[in-house]
Amino acid sequence: MSKKKAYEFFGTMDDILDLIKNLPPAPTQEWLQDWKEFISEKIQKKIDHREFYHEKTKFRVRFDPAKEGKPGFEGKDHWHAYNPYTKNKLDTYFDKNGNTVKEGSGPSHIIPKKDEEN
């Protein structure tokens, strides 16, 4: 029996892995050609992250910008990749390798390589 979808997704696990692998250090105009932000500007002013969906697959990701002077993941730009088949907080996100991980876990924070490191 397959997991019920948490939101409509039109892709494969290979698509997910490719999209995670190609997350930029931060959202760019070029990257936004295939992705759309789905939080309104009004709400965006009240929160400290940005959420996007991939136009073709509807795969969702969240970008958390670094907070100056904060330790750990809060001090680094990072992404979260939502699991479209999540059932609970134990499998809310994917890690950088496409494994399901717990909400708030270290591996749920995806820190992409900088362009010069690729």
pLDDT tens digits, 38-87? 876 666 666 678 999 999 999 999 999 998 898 889 899 999 999 999 99
User: Is 51 in a helix, a strand, or coil?
Assistant: strand
User: Is 81 in a helix, a strand, or coil?
Assistant: strand
Q: Which residue has the tokens 């409509």?
A: 8
Cβ atoms of 108 and 101 within 8 Å: the answer is yes
Number of residues written out for the chain: 118
Cα 20 from Cα 7, distance rounded (Å):
18
pLDDT tens digits, 59-68? 999 999 998 8
Cβ atoms of 78 and 50 within 8 Å: the answer is no
Q: pLDDT value at position 8? A: 85
